[in-house]
């Protein structure tokens, strides 16, 4: 798609969102496959908010490691870039790229945790619409992170682009990571409120 129409708004709003969707979906499908294989034991994990979040976090973490390995291979064999597509981040073959991947792996872990919370709402609380909500939140967080990189690539002379580029390891990525963990914390706390409301409703029903 980038090759067909290499314009900023198209890359930001269509190409990147398409990428966000498939990467978030990959995490969700991993959880679904696990539940299908593990059956009752797998389902039990997603009846508890804490275990669902942790499991989703590990799924995202593993995805991030896998992506880093893929980028390493592409960096060593550039011709494979035609298969995997254009990369927005640097290759995992230098110290600076290694540092960047350490952040990126955690960013994927946060998205995975949000998806895990969504599955918890679907399976544990029978609130299916919330799976879509958490899925979209994960996509938008991904858009925030990669969107800054896209702005930096297309408009390098902007003050924001210069700042992001000059401080990407010391300020930009750490702040994006903190924002991600804050989103996850708020989502986790909000899920706890939902769970308490359900327990109160159940107690009233028993009476």
Position 136 scores a pLDDT of 97
Q: What is the mean pLDDT of residues 86-94?
A: 49
Q: Is residue 3 part of a domain?
A: no
User: d(Cα 62, Cα 13) in Å, to the nearest integer?
Assistant: 27
Say if 102 falls within a structural domain: yes
Domain of residue 121: give its range.
Answer: 16-196
139's CB contacts (< 8 A; 6+ apart) are 17, 20, 21, 24
- Helix 129-154 to helix 159-166 angle (10° resolution) is 100
**71 is a domain residue:** yes
Among 70, 55, 146, 148, which Cα is nearest to 109's?
Answer: 55
User: Buried (b) or exposed (e) across 76-94, using 16+ Cβ within 10 A?
Assistant: eeeeeeeeeeeebbbbbee
Q: Cα–Cα distance between 189 and 184 in angstroms, integer? A: 9
Residue from 73, 177, 187, 91 nearest 131 by CA: 187
Mean pLDDT, rounded, for 65-77: 77
Tell me, yes or no, whether 77 lies in a domain: yes
Q: What's the residue count for the chain?
A: 207
Position with higher pLDDT, 68 vs 167 = 167
From CA 65, how far away is CA 102, in angstroms rounded?
9
Mean pLDDT of 68-83: 70
Coil, helix or strand for 164?
Answer: helix
When the pLDDT of each residue in the chain is averaged and rounded to a whole number, the result is: 84
- pLDDT over 80 at 91, yes or no: no
**82 Cβ partners below 8 Å, 6+ apart?**
none
Residue 121 maps to a domain: yes
The count of structural domains within the chain is 1
- Residue 201 within a domain: no
Position 92 scores a pLDDT of 47
Q: Name which residue leads in pLDDT, 38 or 204.
A: 38
d(CA 204, CA 64): 44
So what's the pLDDT on residue 201?
45
pLDDT per residue as tens digits for the range 107-135: 999 999 999 999 999 988 888 899 999 99
Q: Are 45 and 54 in contact (CB under 8 A)?
A: no
Give pLDDT, residue 162: 93
Largest CA distance in the chain: 68
Q: Is residue 78 part of a domain?
A: yes
Confidence of residue 78 (pLDDT cuts 50, 70, 90): low
Residue in 101, 99, 118 with CA at minimum distance from that of residue 57: 118
pLDDT at 204: 46
Q: Is residue 70 part of a domain?
A: yes
Highest mean pLDDT out of 66-70, 74-78, 181-185: 181-185
DSSP 92-121: TTSHHHHHHHHHHHHHHHHHHHHHHHHHII
pLDDT confidence band for 102 (50 / 70 / 90): confident
């Amino acid at each position: 798609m980038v090759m067909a129409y290499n314009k900023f708004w198209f890359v930001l709003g269509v190409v990147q969102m398409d990428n966000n969707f498939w990467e978030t979906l990959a995490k969700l499908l991993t959880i679904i496959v696990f539940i299908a294989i593990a059956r009752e034991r797998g389902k039990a994990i997603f009846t508890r908010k804490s275990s669902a979040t942790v499991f989703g976090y590990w799924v995202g973490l593993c995805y991030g490691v896998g992506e880093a390995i893929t980028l390493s291979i592409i960096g060593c064999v550039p011709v494979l870039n035609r298969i995997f597509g254009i990369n927005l981040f640097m290759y995992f073959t230098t110290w600076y790229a290694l540092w960047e991947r350490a952040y990126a792996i955690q960013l994927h872990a946060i998205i995975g945790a949000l998806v895990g919370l969504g599955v918890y709402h679907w399976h544990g609380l029978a609130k299916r619409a919330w799976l879509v909500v958490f899925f979209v939140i994960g996509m938008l967080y991904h858009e925030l992170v990669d969107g800054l990189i896209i702005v930096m690539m297309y408009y390098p002379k902007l003050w924001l682009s210069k700042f992001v580029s000059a401080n990407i390891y010391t300020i930009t990525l750490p702040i994006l990571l903190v924002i991600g963990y804050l989103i996850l914390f708020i989502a986790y706390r909000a899920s706890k409120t939902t769970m308490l409301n359900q327990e109160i409703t159940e107690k009233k029903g028993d009476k």
